[in-house]
Structure 1
Amino acid sequence: MEKIKIVFFIYQLGSGGAARTMLNILNKIDRSKFKPILVTLNYTGNYEEYLKEDVKFVKLSTTRLRSAILPLAKVIRRENADIVFSTIPNYNTVAILANLVSFSRAKNIVREAAFLGGSFTSNLKLLAYGFLYKLAPSVIALSQGVKDNIVKRYKVNPHKIKVIYNPVDIEWIHSSILNGKIHEQYDSIFTSKEKKIVTAGRLVPDKDHKTLLEAFAKVNKKFNSNLFILGEGELENTLKHKAKQLNIQDKVHFIGFQQNPYIYFKHADLFVLSSRREGFGHVLAEALASGTPVVSTKCKPGAVEVLEDGKYGRLCEVGNADELANKISDVLSYNTEELHQVVSRGLHRVEEFDAKVIVKQYEEVFMRHATHRISDRN
């Protein structure tokens, strides 16, 4: 059978969850059935070095999204694509418009990862996205909560939406831990008896690191502890100032983006997610795969689904520093047996998100919508 050609479109193979998902699908998709082609804007992303060499990689000559429609259309037509797969609303919009003007018979499949909307203006924008999503035969939602939101606010038929969780490359995480090394600057802390708490994510309002800092200030009065914040973003200086105000600046370490965050997860006593909302909560699954207990806010809708209402990690209300501090203190107080049980449950849970399992689900969707193209060729 002739291979199904899939054009994967994303702004860049950067450091976010969408890029990790793309990378996992591109690298693990069955090469005997599919030929993946990656198209990005003219950026250099952090994950590019991990892309398998047999993936055809096309960078458009523009860094402006609005200028990408025609160049992307040319790639779709030139490659005689069967499927155009994209993620994130603005990029889904460009992918759909590019496919329309390509005059090809390729089918759009769009992925929605975020729990968006709430205000009048944003809800109107989502209706516009929904109008375009109706042109795609299939919409992939990365959680049930995201699916419900697409139905409610985008007005997309629920029957065309399939829930597929984020793929977590467990094998890669374990290899990264085995071969990784804590930066020498922090090695003495990680080998000490002090408690180590880690979080990872962009330093932006939705991640609510402010509440985490307030909670950590309370925890630090009970436990001699350190907080490691992995990630970059616009609020870094603001958060550093907040840490100074709370008199915990010597205990909070902003260590930026890490190519290998898993070595920090593994050697921490606890992973904390303080987000206001998460479509899935990819870092929670990665922390579980690293064998690390987790505490998270009930950030809609992802964390509650990943942790199954608290079965696999402690949950607290969004923005509640006192409750977050109490949950962190509870986990830091676990005895050896309690810790072993929590870690074992987490490792079992994350097997459901294993990239090998999740990519098969994507393959089924791609195969279903490319069948007509293959029969036409043959």
Structure 2
Amino acid sequence: MGKKKILFFIYEMGAGGAARTLLNIINNLNRERFQPVLVTLNYNGSYESELKDDVTFIKLDTKRLSRSIFKLASIIRKENIDLVFSTIPRVNTIATLATFCSFTKCKNVVREADNLGGTFKENTQLLFFGLVYRMSSQVVSLSEGVKENLVSKYKLSRKRIKVIYNPVDLEKISVLKSEELDGSHDNIFRQGGKVILTAGRLVAQKDQATLIEAFRMLQKEVQSSLIILGEGPLKQDLEQQINSAGLSGKVHFLGFQKNPYKFISRADLFVLSSQHEGFSHVIAESIASGTIVVSTDCKSGPAEVLEGGKYGFLCEVGNSQEMSGKIIEALTLPEPEKQSMIKAGIQRAGTFDAKVIVKEYEAVFNEVLSKKKRR
């Protein structure tokens, strides 16, 4: 039996968790069984350089997702693709329609990565996505919480959904976390006091504003500095909040970092302040780096990754006072308890090892490819 061609479709190989997940799956995919093809819109993504050399990489000549259906369908035909894999709702919609319009035997698998919905408009849109998802060969959710959201808001059958956690490249983390910092970054860690770190796009979902307020509240208790990795539209608003709180010089925006692990591994604490997550790749990466985590108990990933607080600390979404208290508790742990939690976290991270998780994806691909195409 020849190799099966798997086409991975994403908006761009940018700085987000979805792109990192695809990168880990593509690079760890069994080359004796599968041949990966990556297709993106016409953008330059920060993870492109990390793709293995044997990956066929195609960029569509458009930056508009809505114009990519027939272009993608054409590639499916020309490249003799056996299966299309995609993630993120709008991308999943295009991938599913393109697979259908290719008029081939190609199958498709869609992955849902977040707990979406809330307003009437959003919930109505999710019903539409659910209708399209029913056309796919298989739906994958990256946590049990996301699966429940797919059932309740997308109106999908539980039987059509498989839960597969995000793959974390532990081997890569073990190498990159020891990389040296440049002088200006290294100085932050040499100022004395504790270093708190967060990473994520500067958008409302990540709610760095609550973290900054919690950081302000703990100033009298713990000498500390805060590092924020990531870029986004709310940077100016967050900078104004920092200045108004008198925290200038204590909070450091370092932008997107291709190697966040060298910062995470050196930090005393990683904090996630999100309003909602599907899984939270960065929490798994943090415990794998040997760093203790404080996270909001948002729907739905953090509590699953940390097993209800067994491997880290959880606090209420948007509650800066409780977050501040949990940060202080984490930073003042007696050394034996601290080391015990770090060791347990590293063991927990093994559950998400890319080599293990990608085998689960391969099993799904094999199962889907063995079935007759749904029409």
Q: Which category describes the TM-score, using the shorter chain as reference length?
A: over 0.9
Q: CA deviation at 1:99?
A: 1.0
Instruction: Look up the match of 1:29.
Output: 29
Task: Give the TM-score of the pair, scaled to structure 2.
Answer: 0.98
Q: CA deviation at 1:188?
A: 2.2
Q: CA deviation at 1:370?
A: 1.1
Instruction: Look up the match of 2:215.
Output: 216
Residue 237 (structure 1) aligned with residue 236 (structure 2): yes
Instruction: Look up the match of 2:326.
Output: 327
Instruction: Look up the match of 2:66.
Output: 66
Q: Which runs of 4+ in 1 moved over 2 A?
A: 371-374
Mapping of residues 1-378 of structure 1, within 5 Å = 1-178=1-178, 180-372=179-371
User: For each residue in 1:141-168, what CA deviation from the matched residue of structure 2 results, as whole angstroms up to 9, or x when unmatched?
Assistant: 0000000000111011110100000000
User: For each residue in 1:299-357, what CA deviation from the matched residue of structure 2 results, as whole angstroms up to 9, or x when unmatched?
Assistant: 11011111111001000000011100000001111122111001001001100000000
Task: Give the TM-score of the pair, scaled to structure 1.
Answer: 0.97
Matched residue type, 2:302: A
- Structure 2 CA distance for aligned equivalents of residues 53 and 269 of structure 1: 36
Matched residue type, 1:61: D
Q: CA deviation at 1:80?
A: 1.3
- Structure 1 CA distance for aligned equivalents of residues 300 and 40 of structure 2: 28
- Structure 1 CA distance for aligned equivalents of residues 231 and 336 of structure 2: 36
Q: CA deviation at 1:132?
A: 0.7
Q: CA deviation at 1:124?
A: 0.7
Identity %: 52
- Structure 1 CA distance for aligned equivalents of residues 137 and 287 of structure 2: 34
State how many pairs are aligned: 373
User: For each residue in 1:107-166, what CA deviation from the matched residue of structure 2 results, as whole angstroms up to 9, or x when unmatched?
Assistant: 110000010011111111001000010011210000000000001110111101000000
Deviates further, 243-252 or 190-199: 190-199
Cα pair 1:82 1:373 within 8 Å, conserved: no
Q: In structure 2, the residue corresponding to 1:268 is in which secondary structure?
A: coil
Q: In structure 1, the residue corresponding to 2:177 is in which secondary structure?
A: helix
- Structure 1 CA distance for aligned equivalents of residues 324 and 76 of structure 2: 51
Q: CA deviation at 1:372?
A: 5.0
Q: In structure 2, the residue corresponding to 1:234 is in which secondary structure?
A: coil
Q: CA deviation at 1:74?
A: 0.4
Q: In structure 2, the residue corresponding to 1:249 is in which secondary structure?
A: coil
What is the Cα-based RMSD across aligned positions, in Å? 1.1
Q: CA deviation at 1:186?
A: 2.6
- Structure 2 CA distance for aligned equivalents of residues 84 and 227 of structure 1: 41
Cα pair 1:206 1:275 within 8 Å, conserved: yes
Cα pair 1:42 1:63 within 8 Å, conserved: yes
Matched residue type, 2:324: A
Structure 1 unaligned regions, length at least 5: none
Q: CA deviation at 1:249?
A: 1.5
Structure 2 unaligned regions, length at least 5: none
- Structure 1 CA distance for aligned equivalents of residues 289 and 27 of structure 2: 21
- Structure 2 CA distance for aligned equivalents of residues 276 and 85 of structure 1: 27
Q: In structure 2, the residue corresponding to 1:342 is in which secondary structure?
A: helix
Q: CA deviation at 1:191?
A: 2.8
User: For each residue in 1:44-89, what CA deviation from the matched residue of structure 2 results, as whole angstroms up to 9, or x when unmatched?
Assistant: 1000000001010011000110110111000001111111110000
- Structure 1 CA distance for aligned equivalents of residues 372 and 235 of structure 2: 49
Q: CA deviation at 1:248?
A: 0.6
